[in-house]
Amino acid sequence: MIRFLKNSLILSAPFVFWVIFVVVIDPFNYFGFSNAISGEVKEQNSGRLNTLLYRTISFKRYPTANILIGDSRTDLLPVSELERITGKHFGKLTNNAAKLNEIFELFYFANSYHKLETVVIGINFNMFNEYGYADRVKDIKEIISFPPRYVFSTSVAEACYFVLRAQIIGKDISDVPPMTREEFWKWNIEEKATHWYGKYKYPNELYAQMRKLDDFAIRNDINLIFIVVPHHREFHDRLIEFGLLNEELKFKEYLSSLNAKVIDYDFENEITIDKENFTDPVHYQESIGRLMVNEIWGNKILIGKPLN
């Protein structure tokens, strides 16, 4: 019996060590017990490695009534400027390359933790494609609801390595592409546009989900705002080349039928024709984010186009 207990302890030691290690490092702030790794290091590394997990755990721990939901383009909207104008605190539930079905799921997820008051969703026509689908939110929910899944998650293990590396030698994960700005611009025009627009099917299910979301917001007194984020016109030209201009028009006509407030910035205007307003063809500069926030929440829309 003693030998059995001794062998059991020896066999379980690595697992116990790993649990303690993860609780202490806690790269996504799941437990919130330890300050061994600074918050800045976690955000710069874990937040880049798995933005969705980082943001959902943060929202669960510190839920807010006002929130931005979307992909990296929505993430560029300056929360500090939004809070300055409105006097309200805003959180973020954003993820790189977020799909529209995931955005809808995050909306209901957020409302289950805190009654929402204002929800800002950044969208673009490229999201309205039946082939644009992912199911990462389900995995995140399972991790959040069951601590062992967090402790033994491969994403958490990878994040532990990167935050430790950053804490010890000061080397953060880089999100800068390994090419020049012009090379990256060209890659987006040629490759990303082909990926987004080369295969398209009318997304009946997504349209139905959006209508359901719009109705839910009305019934629950949620101020729902859609921002059609701008792309440079050179990128938009690729949409035309793939024969999707009429589909884009139908998309905007549908948005105009919603009860939600919809502001369109993705058309030919002084933002979209100037390359200097973008870091790449689909990501606007910080100054453009401030401009949109000031127009929409300052009630002085000069460039944006209200669709309803």
Q: How confident is the model at residue 5 (pLDDT cuts 50, 70, 90)?
A: very low
Instruction: Please list the residues that pair with 223 across neighbouring strands.
Output: 118
Q: Produce one character per residue of 179-218: b if its CB has 16 or more CB atoms within 10 Å, e if not.
A: eeeeebbeebbeebbeebbeebeebeebeebbeebbebbe
Q: Looking at the chain, how many residues does it have?
A: 308
Query: Of 136 and 5, which is predicted with more confidence?
Result: 136
Residue ranges per structural domain of the chain? 53-148+177-306
- As a whole number of angstroms, the distance between CA 75 and CA 57 comes to 17
> Which fold does the domain 53-148+177-306 belong to in CATH?
Rossmann fold (3.40.50)
Q: State residue 254's pLDDT score.
A: 95
137: which residues sit within 8 A by CB, 6+ positions away? 52, 56, 102, 105, 106, 109
User: Cα separations (Å) of 3 from 6, 12, 13?
Assistant: 5, 14, 15
Helix, strand or coil, per DSSP, at residue 231: coil
Q: State residue 1's pLDDT score.
A: 59
Tell me: pLDDT of 184 over 50: yes
pLDDT tens per residue across span 185-242: 999 999 999 999 999 999 999 999 999 999 999 999 999 999 999 999 999 999 999 9
- As a whole number of angstroms, the distance between CA 101 and CA 154 comes to 24
Q: State residue 12's pLDDT score.
A: 62
Cβ-contact 56, 30 below 8 angstroms = no
Q: Residue 156 carries which side chain, given as an amino acid letter?
A: V
Helix, strand or coil, per DSSP, at residue 172: coil
pTM metric for this prediction: 0.92
User: Mean per-residue pLDDT for 92-106?
Assistant: 94
